[in-house]
Amino acid sequence: MTVSEIARLLGGTLHGDGSREIRGVAGLEGAGPHDLTYADSARALEQAAHARAGLILVREGTAIEGQTTLAVAHPKLAFIQSAEALCPPVTYPPEIHPTAVIAPDAELAAGVSIGPNAVVERGAKVGAGTRLSAGVVLGQDVRVGSRCVLHPRVTVYPGAQIGNRVVLHAGVVIGSDGFGYVFAEGRQHKFPQLGKVVIEDDVEIGSNSTVDRGSLGTTIIGEGTKIDNLCQIAHNVKIGRHCVIAAQTGISGSVEIGDRVVMGGQVGIADHVRIEDDVMIGGRGAAFPGKIIRQGSAVWGNPVRPLAEYKRLNAHLSRLPSLAQKVKELSEKIVDL
C-alpha cells in the first residue's frame, strides 16, 4: 500500500510523501523505509525524529520535521488497524489431515481446517472456517463456532460450548472438573462436577490456561474477554464482556465479574467475590472471600484497597521503623517530664 492509500483507510492529516510504499509494520526503533510505525508519547516523538520509518502515525495536531507522518485521533488504534490491513492473518487450508481422528457423527461445517493428530469425538460440531491445530482434542458433544483458532494441543472436555472467532492458545484446557470436596469419614468426597462451560464470541485465552466447568451451574467467559497465559478460572465463575485478565491470575469458584474489568498479573480472587463493571485490579492484588468491589474502582494490594489508600499505606509502612523510633523518643521525654 502507498502512504496515501493508508491515509485514505485511516483518515487523518498527512504530512510528507504520499507515494511511498509501505509493506509492513514495526516498532519505532526497528522500522525501515517500507514500515509503518507510531509515536504516541513525548518520549516516542523525540525518538521519532531520528526514525527510518516510511510512515509514522502521530496524534492530531502533531507533525515531525523531516518525517512522513499521519496525524490521527488514536495512533495506537490506527496502528492496529493498519497492521490488520498490511499483515493479513495466517490462513489455514480447508483440509482435514489424514491422521486426524474424527468421529463419524461429528459435524464439520464448510472450510474447517484440521491439523495432524487432532481428535474430534462423538457428537461434536465445528463451525465454518474454524482451525483445529495439531493434537487438539474435542470431547464428546463439544460445540465450537465459526472462524475460531484452536492452537496445538488444546483440550476441550465433553459438552463445552465455544462461540465464534474464539482463539485458544496451545495447551489450554476448557471444561475440566471443578475442585470441590467434602471431608467426611476420614477422606475427601468429590462434589459432583456436572455443570457446563460457555466461552462466548471473540474470547482469547493464553497458553496453558485452564477453565473448569460448573459444578452444578455454568462457568461463563463473556464476549470479547481476553485472558493471558497460565490463568485459572474455577467452577461457576461468571466473567462479563471485554475484560482483560493478565497472566497467572486465579479466579476462585462462584466469583462474578462484570464488564470491562481489567486485572494485572498474578491477581488472586477468592470464592464468591463480586467485581462490578469497569473495575481495575493491580498486579498481585488479592480479594478475600465474599468481597464486593464497586463499579469503576481501581484497587491494589492484598487485601485490595483503593489505589490512593494503598499508596498511602505503603508510604506509612516504609516509615514504620522511624515511627517506632519516634515513639521511643517520646516515651523517654515523658519519663523526663
How many whole angstroms separate alpha carbon 216 and alpha carbon 148?
27
* Contact residue for a second copy among 49, 182, 292, 308 (CB under 8 A): 182
State which of positions 48-107 bind a second copy (CB under 8 A). Answer: 74, 76-77, 79-81, 83, 87, 90, 97, 99, 101
CB nearer to a second copy: give 15 or 291. Answer: 291
How many whole angstroms separate alpha carbon 276 and alpha carbon 256?
8
Q: Does 312 interact with a second copy (rule: CB under 8 A)?
A: yes
In the sheet with 256-257, reading across from the earlier edge strand, the strands are 107-108, 125-126, 143-144, 161-162, 196-199, 218-221, 238-239, 256-257, 274-275, 292-293
CB nearer to a second copy: give 15 or 94. Answer: 94
For the chain, helix, strand, coil in percent to 5 are 15, 30, 55
Residue 287 φ then ψ, to 5°: -120, 135
State which of positions 193-212 bind a second copy (CB under 8 A). Answer: 194, 202, 204, 206-208, 210, 212
Residues marked active site are found at: 235
* Contact residue for a second copy among 155, 161, 164, 219 (CB under 8 A): 155
Beta-ladder partners of 37: 56
How many whole angstroms separate alpha carbon 47 and alpha carbon 29?
8
* Contact residue for a second copy among 45, 109, 230, 307 (CB under 8 A): 230
- Give the shortest CB-63-to-a second copy separation in angstroms: 23
Question: Three-state SS across 101-127?
Answer: EECCCCEECCCCEECCCCEECCCCEEC
- Closest by alpha carbon to 106, among 88, 131, 123? 123
- Closest by alpha carbon to 180, among 256, 230, 236, 221? 236
- Give the shortest CB-228-to-a second copy separation in angstroms: 4
* Contact residue for a second copy among 46, 266, 277, 298 (CB under 8 A): 266
CB nearer to a second copy: give 65 or 175. Answer: 175
Q: Does 306 interact with a second copy (rule: CB under 8 A)?
A: no
Residue 279 φ then ψ, to 5°: -80, 145
Q: Does 191 interact with a second copy (rule: CB under 8 A)?
A: yes
- Give the shortest CB-226-to-a second copy separation in angstroms: 5
CB nearer to a second copy: give 109 or 191. Answer: 191
Q: Which stretch binds a second copy (CB under 8 A): 1-9, 13-21, 177-185, 291-299?
A: 177-185
- Give the shortest CB-129-to-a second copy separation in angstroms: 18
Q: Which helix (H) or strand (E) holds 235?
A: none
CB nearer to a second copy: give 49 or 101. Answer: 101
Q: Which stretch binds a second copy (CB under 8 A): 4-12, 21-29, 41-49, 54-62?
A: 21-29
- DSSP state at residue 276: -
CB nearer to a second copy: give 15 or 206. Answer: 206
